[in-house]
Amino acid sequence: MAKLEGLHDLFLEQLKDMYDSEKQIIKALPKMIKEAENAQLKRALEEHLEETRGHVERLERVFESVESKARGQHCPGMEGIIDEGKELLEKDAEPAVRDAGIIASAQRVEHYEMAAYGTLIAYAKDMGHREATTLLQQTLKEEEAADRKLTEISRSVNTDAMQPVGAH
Ligand SMILES: [Fe+2]
């Protein structure tokens, strides 16, 4: 593996990591959508799947803007988060409880992405890559909005998921 000589190399490394992460999310979301019971949750996840396809395209434009070829590098961090979500889906659960679990997994994914995009934006800004900065900021905004939406949906899902008093 080539030596990371400077911030630009690290920037590319992390871009590759996110390129792979977004693709992993595209593969994982359909199962979560299928298992979700709450209509609002299903829709929010469907919309986010569409957005995520856009994130992949945007990353390709970021690579292009710094004259680099779009390439992925396996991201074990995202794989772990997705695997935990999958495990939860395999458990026997009341539909509302499963929905609450889907939200928990999806928000972990979102926060991982928000952290990664935050770093990428800081690097892009520091290195004066204006186009890359703008593109990455657009995606970060969408991740943040998706996260907020999930919090909103969780309010009714969590209420539905609570066991009735005395049912323990
Ligand atoms: Fe994304």
For 75-114, the pLDDT digits (tens) are 999 999 999 999 999 999 999 999 999 999 999 999 999 9
Q: Is the pLDDT score of 14 beyond 70? A: yes
Q: What is the CATH number of the domain that holds 70?
A: 1.20.1260.10
For the beta carbon of residue 48, count every other beta carbon within 10 angstroms.
25
SS3 66: coil
Query: 167 falls in which pLDDT band (50, 70, 90)?
Result: low
Ligand 1 centroid, distance to 165 Cα (angstroms) = 39
In degrees, to the nearest 5, what angle opens at C-alpha 48 toward C-alphas 44 and 52? 175
Ligand 1 centroid, distance to 133 Cα (angstroms) = 15
Ligand 1 centroid, distance to 103 Cα (angstroms) = 15
Q: Is the pLDDT score of 156 beyond 80? A: yes
1, part of any domain = no
Tens of pLDDT, residue by residue over 131-148, are 999 999 999 999 999 999
Query: 2 falls in which pLDDT band (50, 70, 90)?
Result: confident
Ligand 1 centroid, distance to 55 Cα (angstroms) = 5
42, part of any domain = yes
**Number of independent structural domains in the chain:** 1
Q: What is the pTM of this model?
A: 0.94
Report CA-CA distances (Å) from 20 to 46, 77, 128: 20, 11, 25
Ligand 1 centroid, distance to 80 Cα (angstroms) = 16
Q: Enumerate residues 6+ apart whose C-beta is below 8 A from 7.
A: 123, 126, 127
Query: 64 falls in which pLDDT band (50, 70, 90)?
Result: very high
Ligand 1 centroid, distance to 143 Cα (angstroms) = 6
Q: Is the pLDDT score of 166 beyond 80? A: no
**Given phi > 0 = left and psi -120 to 50 = alpha, else beta, which region is 67?**
left
What is the average per-residue pLDDT within 161-168? Answer: 70
Q: Where are the alpha helices (DSSP H) in the chain?
A: 7-35, 39-65, 76-90, 95-126, 130-161
Query: What does the block give as tokens for 62?
Result: 């970021």
Domain with 114 in it: 7-153
105, part of any domain = yes
145, part of any domain = yes
Ligand 1 centroid, distance to 48 Cα (angstroms) = 8
Ligand 1 centroid, distance to 139 Cα (angstroms) = 7
23, part of any domain = yes
Ligand 1 centroid, distance to 138 Cα (angstroms) = 10
- The answer to whether 96 and 161 have CB atoms below 8 angstroms apart is yes
161, part of any domain = no
Mean pLDDT of the chain: 96
